Amino acid sequence: MFELIAEEDGARRGRLTTAHGPIDTPAFMPVGTQATVKALTPDEVRALGAQVLLGNTYHLALRPGAERIARLGGLHRFMGWDGAILTDSGGFQVFSLDHLVSVSDDGATFRSHLDGSEQRFTPESVMGIQRELGSDIAMAFDQPVGWPTASAPAAEAMERTHRWATRCLETEAAAGQLRFGIVQGGFDDDLRRQSAEVLGRLPFDGFGVGGLSLGEPKEVTYRLLSVQTAILPVDRPRYLMGVGTPADLIEAIARGIDMFDCVLPTRIARNGSVLTQGGRINLRNRRYIEDLGPPDAGCDCYTCQRFSRAYLRHLFMAGEILGHRLASIHNLRMLVRLVEDLRSEIGGGKLAGVVRALREQWSLAPLP
């Protein structure tokens, strides 16, 4: 059940109730693709303020296998996380294999990236995998397209996504499991409107906005996002899939998005980069060799309270895994806290000023 608590200037504050606890929205979901948020324990992730994690159907189905996870007590027990879990359907991963995948109305046949074995995903099998995993939120199987894609192939993929969505709803869910449809439409305004209208009439518990931030200019991303949030039902949550830079979070929340996930905070952490309110910095840079300041002076995370840029630089230059962990803690906390701060302001009558201040704080230019 989704409760809409407040709205202001297009932004929304709400609460989504799941079988493993409530999710206050807007919410940022750390990505645990293979049943782990890379380098961090569940307790550490919880301490950062995360309420819900993301797992991936494609990766978990290939290794260790959904049936095995089910025998071991389900995904929550398997990974030691007692909060909510959303599982992505794996549609993006399947179709990113490009020349290794063939698609028909029945489903998609592809080659495993692990061993090259032939695999088959259908709407029914994908929902069955998520049923065995026992996630709190299961995403429908969809067919995204990349940038640039002409309107005709984008329309074909969108219509197939709509047919698959109906089949996903007809498949049995796990007890208490919510199901989200995914709107598509490529990069065409009319197709995006059509997808939001068609899927919005189906009895999903929420909706993912898929197929954006795949190489298109940001002004296109935000324009198409606005097109669909204006149409999707107001009484159900909206989830912008795979998008999560500070700019993305600020602009998408202002356009009515409730949930986000992105690998960016842990991915750039492994490369020595951290998010600061002035932008991203690379701690491997020599300029930080004797910098005693924290990664970000305004951050309340464990890393910033205990360690300097100089120390983190040393860890990265020495190849120490602690560097990856500390940078991941910081980056995740920065995004979780950014969303928390925006959430707390929605409904207070001052959101427009807060958004302007955040754009300035994060050195962002407003986009249409």
pLDDT band at 363 (very low <50, low <70, confident <90, very high): low
pLDDT of 37 over the 70 cut: yes
- Tally of residues, the chain: 368
pLDDT of 362 over the 80 cut: no
Please report, rounded to a whole number, the percentage of residues in the chain having pLDDT higher than 70.
98
Per-residue model confidence (pLDDT) at position 83: 98
CA–chain centroid gap for 48, Å, is 16
pLDDT of 304 over the 50 cut: yes
Axis crossing angle, helix 151-169 with helix 189-200, rounded to the nearest 10: 10
**pLDDT tens for each residue of 225-245:** 999 999 999 999 999 999 999
Per-residue model confidence (pLDDT) at position 266: 98
Question: What letter would DSSP give residue 106?
Answer: S
Rounded Cα distance, 297 and 30, in Å: 23
Specify the residue for token string 């700019």: 247
Rounded Cα distance, 263 and 322, in Å: 19
Choose, from 88, 136, 188, 248, the residue flagged as catalytic. 88
Per-residue model confidence (pLDDT) at position 98: 80
Is 205 labeled as catalytic in the residue annotation?
Answer: no
Which helix (H) or strand (E) segment holds residue 334: the answer is helix 321-345
pLDDT of 366 over the 70 cut: no
Query: What number of CA atoms fall less than 13 Å from residue 329's CA on the CB side?
Result: 24
Look at residues 6, 11, 58 and name the one whose alpha carbon lies nearest to residue 35: 58
pLDDT of 365 over the 60 cut: no
Q: Are 328 and 266 in contact (CB under 8 A)?
A: yes
**pLDDT tens for each residue of 345-354:** 999 999 999 9
**pLDDT tens for each residue of 315-345:** 999 999 999 999 999 999 999 999 999 999 9
Please report, rounded to a whole number, the percentage of residues in the chain having pLDDT higher than 90.
94
pLDDT of 258 over the 50 cut: yes
Report in angstroms the alpha-carbon separations of 315 from 86, 263, 289, 294, 321.
Answer: 33, 22, 11, 14, 8
* Overall average pLDDT of the 288-302 stretch: 97
Per-residue model confidence (pLDDT) at position 368: 41
Minimum mean pLDDT range among 15-24, 97-106, 309-318: 97-106
Describe the chain by its helix, strand, coil percentages, rounded to 5.
Answer: 40, 20, 40
pLDDT of 170 over the 50 cut: yes
Average pLDDT, the chain: 96
Rounded Cα distance, 300 and 12, in Å: 25
Cβ neighbors of 261 (< 8 A, separation 6 or more) are 28, 29, 30, 31, 54, 86, 88, 239, 241, 242, 244
* Overall average pLDDT of the 61-68 stretch: 98
pLDDT of 15 over the 70 cut: yes
Residue type, 28: F
Q: Which domains does the chain have, with CATH numbers?
A: 27-267 (3.20.20.105)
Specify the residue for token string 């300041």: 293
Minimum mean pLDDT range among 91-100, 292-301, 343-352: 91-100
Look at residues 88, 89, 115, 91 and name the one whose alpha carbon lies nearest to residue 103: 91
Choose, from 24, 142, 205, 261, the residue flagged as catalytic. 261
Report phi then psi at 312, rounded to 5. -65, -40
Per-residue model confidence (pLDDT) at position 270: 97
Query: What number of CA atoms fall less than 13 Å from residue 294's CA on the CB side?
Result: 18
Is 190 labeled as catalytic in the residue annotation?
Answer: no
Per-residue model confidence (pLDDT) at position 360: 84
Rounded Cα distance, 22 and 25, in Å: 9
